[in-house]
C-alpha cells in the first residue's frame, strides 16, 4: 500500500484545477489524480458548450464565474505565452416572456449588485440591437456587455492538468472502486487495478459520477448523470453579424450561439422528456420536433438549415437544487466535494479548484465565501436554488 496526502477522484476541469491551485497555494504534500478515462473524451468538461456568464441568480455563482473570467483575462501570465482557450467575449442574451419578466428583472438586480456588466433591453430594443431575432413574445432581454462568452473547455482543462503535472502532480489511470472510512475519516481508496492507496484526504471531482463516488464512502449525494444534446447547424444565409452574436436563450430555454461559421443549439429537456442516460446516442427527432420549430420562429433566417453534427454529454446534475456542492463533509472532514454543477461547472471549475485548494491548505475559504454551497444544505435537504439554469 502506498501513501498520498490528497487523492483527487477525476481529472476533469474541477479535479485538475484543484491539483493546480493546491500547488499554487504551496501545498507541500503528495497529490494524486485518479482518472478512469485518460482520453477525457466522455467527461462532462470535454462535452461542454464552454459558456461563461455573469447571469446567475445567486451571488456565489456570479462570484465563481467572475473568478473564471479573471483567469481568462490573465491566462498568459498564469500559464505562459502560448496559453489560449479561444475566449469569445460575445456576451449572453437571456430573453424572457411577460411571465418571466419579474424573475429576469430580479436576477438583473442581483447581477448588477454583484458587479456584472449587464443591461436590460425591452422587447423592441432586443430586435433593434439584434435584428435577426423575432421579438414576438419577448418582454425583455438581459444582455452582457462584457465578461460573458465561451471558450474551448478541453484547452482549459489541459492547461490546468499540464501545469499541475509539471509541478509534480501524479495522474493514475484507474477507477476508484472503493473508499475506506474508519472513525469518520477516509483512510484509503481502492483502485480498479487492485492497488490500495492510503490518503490523508480525498476530493470528489468525479463529475456525473459524483454521487456514485460519494456512495463508496457511504455518503448520500444527489448527483448523477443527465443526458444533454448539442446540435451543430449550418445556415449559409445567416447574416455576418450573427456569427458574432451573443449566446441567446429564448424564453422557453432553447439556446443558440455561433461556433465559427456554424451555430450550436440545444435545450435542457422538461422533466418528463428526460432521456435515458445509458449511452451517448443523439436523438435527432428531438431536434426536429422540439428545437427546430422554435428557432425557425425566433430566428427566421434559420428556417433553412442543415444539422451537420451533434453530440451528447452527461451533465453532473444535482437533483436537490441544481447548484454546485463545494466544501467538506461535516462529519467525514477529510472528504471534499466539488460536485453537482448542473451545466455551469466549466466556468466555475477554476474557482472551485481554488476554493477546495484553500480549504485543504489553509482550512478555510479565502477568496470567495462558499459556505452556503456546502454539503450541509444537502444533508438538511434545504435547497439553494439557482434560477438561471440553461
Ligand atoms: C452538453 C453540455 C454543455 C455544457 N455547457 C456548459 C457551459 O456552457 N458552461 C459551463 O460552465 N458548463 C457547462 N457544462 C457543464 C460542465 O461541462 C461541467 O459542469 C464540468 O465540466 C464538470 O467538470 P468536472 O471536472 O466536475 O467533471 P468531468 O469533466 O466529467 O470530470 C470528471 C472525471 O471524473 C472521472 N471519474 C468519474 N468517476 C470516477 C472514478 N470512480 N474513478 C476515477 N475517475 C472517475 C471521469 O472519467 C471524468 O473524467 C456543460 C455540460 C454538458 C454535458
pLDDT of residue 218: 98
Give the residue, by CA position, lying nearest to ligand 1 atom 3.
48
Q: Assess whether the C-beta atom of 267 lies below 6 angstroms from ligand 1.
A: no
34 vs 12: CA distance, rounded Å: 11
Give the residue, by CA position, lying nearest to ligand 1 atom 24.
207
**Structure confidence at residue 147 as a pLDDT band (50, 70, 90):** very high
Task: Tell me how crowded residue 326 is: count the other CB atoms within 10 A of its CB.
Answer: 29
Distance (Å) from CA 47 to ligand 1 centroid: 8
24 vs 5: CA distance, rounded Å: 16
Distance (Å) from CA 12 to ligand 1 centroid: 6
Q: Assess whether the C-beta atom of 317 lies below 6 angstroms from ligand 1.
A: no
Q: Assess whether the C-beta atom of 206 lies below 6 angstroms from ligand 1.
A: yes
pLDDT of residue 349: 98
CATH of domain 90-146+225-318: 3.30.9.10
Distance (Å) from CA 65 to ligand 1 centroid: 16
pLDDT in tens, 203-242: 999 999 999 999 999 999 999 999 999 999 999 999 999 9
pLDDT in tens, 373-388: 999 999 999 999 887 7
Distance (Å) from CA 170 to ligand 1 centroid: 20
Q: Assess whether the C-beta atom of 156 lies below 6 angstroms from ligand 1.
A: no
Cell of 57: 441568480
pLDDT of residue 1: 63
Average pLDDT of span 28-41: 97
Mutation to probe ligand 1, out of 46, 49, 203, 322 (largest number of atoms < 8 A from CB): 49
Mutation to probe ligand 1, out of 18, 39, 44, 88 (largest number of atoms < 8 A from CB): 44
Name the CA dihedral angle for 235, 241, 247, 251, rounded to a multiple of 10 degrees.
-80
Q: Which residue spans of the chain are classified as CATH 3.50.50.60?
A: 2-51+153-222+321-379
**20 CB-near residues (< 8 Å, 6+ apart):** 160, 161, 163, 164, 169, 353, 357
pLDDT of residue 139: 97
172 vs 21: CA distance, rounded Å: 19
Mutation to probe ligand 1, out of 21, 39, 43 (largest number of atoms < 8 A from CB): 43
Q: Assess whether the C-beta atom of 157 lies below 6 angstroms from ligand 1.
A: no
Task: Tell me how crowded residue 130 is: count the other CB atoms within 10 A of its CB.
Answer: 20
232 vs 213: CA distance, rounded Å: 33
pLDDT of residue 4: 87
Q: Assess whether the C-beta atom of 9 lies below 6 angstroms from ligand 1.
A: yes
Q: Assess whether the C-beta atom of 315 lies below 6 angstroms from ligand 1.
A: yes
Query: Cβ distance 262 to 238 under 8 Å?
Result: no
Average pLDDT of span 181-196: 97
Closest of 175, 157, 167 to residue 9, by C-alpha: 175
Query: Cβ distance 223 to 339 under 8 Å?
Result: yes
Distance (Å) from CA 186 to ligand 1 centroid: 24
Whether the predicted pLDDT of 195 surpasses 80: yes
142 vs 145: CA distance, rounded Å: 10
SS3 per residue for the chain: CEEEEEEEECCCHHHHHHHHHHHHCCCCCCEEEEECCCCCCCCHHHHCCCEECCCCCCHHHHHHHHHHHHHHHCHHHHHCCCCCCCCECCCEEEEECHHHHHHHHHHHHHHHHCCCCEEEEEHHHHHHHCCCCCCCCCCEEEEECCCCEECCHHHHHHHHHHHHHHCCCEEEECCEEEEEEECCEEEEEEECCCCEEEEEEEEECCHHHHHHHHHHCCCCCCEEEEEEEEEEEECCCCCHHHHHCCEEECCCCCEEEEECCEEEEECCCCHHHCCCCCCCCCCHHHHHHHHHHHHHHHCHHHHCCEEEEEEEEEEEEECCCCCCEEEECCCCCCEEEEECCCCCHHHHHHHHHHHHHHHHHHCCCCCCCCHHHCCHHHHCCCCCCCCCCC
Q: Assess whether the C-beta atom of 322 lies below 6 angstroms from ligand 1.
A: no
- Total number of residues shown for the chain: 390
Q: Assess whether the C-beta atom of 257 lies below 6 angstroms from ligand 1.
A: no
As assigned by CATH, the class of the 2-51+153-222+321-379 domain is alpha beta
Share of the chain above pLDDT 90, in %: 94
pLDDT in tens, 169-185: 999 999 999 999 999 99
Please state, rounded to an integer, the average pLDDT across all residues of the chain. 96
Q: CA 327, 330, 336: angle at the middle one, nearest 5?
A: 35
Q: Assess whether the C-beta atom of 10 lies below 6 angstroms from ligand 1.
A: yes
Closest of 225, 207, 226 to residue 13, by C-alpha: 207
Q: Assess whether the C-beta atom of 286 lies below 6 angstroms from ligand 1.
A: no
pLDDT in tens, 278-324: 899 999 999 999 999 999 999 999 999 999 999 999 999 999 999 99
Whether the predicted pLDDT of 389 surpasses 80: no
> Model pTM?
0.97
**Structure confidence at residue 192 as a pLDDT band (50, 70, 90):** very high
Q: Assess whether the C-beta atom of 346 lies below 6 angstroms from ligand 1.
A: yes
Query: Cβ distance 49 to 264 under 8 Å?
Result: yes
Distance (Å) from CA 223 to ligand 1 centroid: 12
Which ligand 1 atom sits closest to the C-alpha of 46? 29
Q: How far is CA 122 from CA 45, 97, 100, in A?
A: 35, 11, 13
pLDDT in tens, 93-122: 999 999 999 999 999 999 999 999 999 999
Q: Which residue spans of the chain are classified as CATH 3.30.9.10?
A: 90-146+225-318
Average pLDDT of span 325-336: 98
Whether the predicted pLDDT of 363 surpasses 90: yes
Amino acid at each position: 500500500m502506498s501513501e498520498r496526502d490528497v487523492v483527487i477522484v477525476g481529472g476533469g476541469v474541477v479535479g485538475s484545477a484543484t491539483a493546480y491551485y493546491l500547488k499554487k497555494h504551496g501545498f507541500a504534500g503528495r497529490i494524486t489524480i485518479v482518472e478512469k478515462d485518460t482520453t477525457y473524451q466522455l467527461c462532462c468538461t470535454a462535452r461542454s458548450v464552454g459558456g461563461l456568464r455573469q447571469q446567475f441568480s445567486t451571488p456565489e455563482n456570479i462570484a465563481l464565474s467572475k473568478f473564471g473570467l479573471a483567469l481568462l483575462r490573465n491566462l498568459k501570465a498564469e500559464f505562459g505565452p502560448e496559453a489560449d482557450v479561444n475566449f469569445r467575449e460575445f456576451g449572453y442574451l437571456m430573453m424572457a416572456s411577460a411571465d418571466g419578466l419579474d424573475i429576469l428583472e430580479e436576477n438583473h438586480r442581483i447581477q448588477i449588485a454583484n458587479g456584472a456588466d449587464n443591461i436590460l433591453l425591452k422587447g423592441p430594443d432586443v430586435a433593434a440591437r439584434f435584428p435577426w431575432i423575432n421579438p414576438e413574445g419577448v418582454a425583455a432581454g438581459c444582455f452582457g456587455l462584457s465578461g460573458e462568452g465561451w471558450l474551448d473547455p478541453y484547452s482549459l482543462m489541459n492547461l490546468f492538468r499540464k501545469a499541475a503535472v509539471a509541478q509534480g502532480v501524479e495522474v493514475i489511470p484507474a477507477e476508484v472502486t472503493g473508499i475506506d472510512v474508519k472513525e469518520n475519516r477516509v483512510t484509503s481508496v481502492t483502485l480498479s487495478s487492485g492497488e490500495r492507496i492510503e490518503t490523508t484526504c480525498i476530493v470528489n471531482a468525479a463529475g456525473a459520477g459524483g454521487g456514485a463516488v460519494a456512495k463508496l464512502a457511504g455518503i448520500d449525494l444527489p448527483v448523477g448523470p443527465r443526458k444533454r444534446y448539442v446540435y451543430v447547424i449550418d445556415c449559409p444565409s445567416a447574416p455576418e453579424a450573427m456569427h458574432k452574436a451573443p449566446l441567446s436563450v429564448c424564453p422557453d430555454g432553447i439556446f443558440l450561439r455561433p461556433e465559427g461559421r456554424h451555430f450550436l443549439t440545444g435545450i435542457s429537456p422538461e422533466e418528463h422528456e428526460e432521456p435515458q442516460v445509458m449511452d451517448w446516442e443523439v436523438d435527432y427527432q428531438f431536434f426536429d420536433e422540439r428545437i427546430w420549430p422554435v428557432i425557425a420562429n425566433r430566428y427566421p433566417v434559420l428556417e433553412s438549415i442543415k444539422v451537420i453534427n451533434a453530440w451528447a454529454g452527461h451533465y453532473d446534475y444535482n437533483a436537490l437544487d441544481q447548484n454546485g456542492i463545494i466544501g467538506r463533509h461535516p462529519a467525514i472532514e477529510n472528504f471534499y466535494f466539488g460536485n453537482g454543477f448542473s451545466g455551469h461547472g466549466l466556468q466555475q471549475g477554476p474557482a472551485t479548484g481554488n476554493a477546495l485548494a484553500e480549504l485543504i491548505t489553509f482550512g478555510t475559504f479565502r477568496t470567495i465565501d462558499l459556505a452556503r454551497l456546502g454539503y450541509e444544505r444537502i444533508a438538511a435537504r434545504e435547497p439553494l436554488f439557482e434560477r438561471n439554469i440553461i
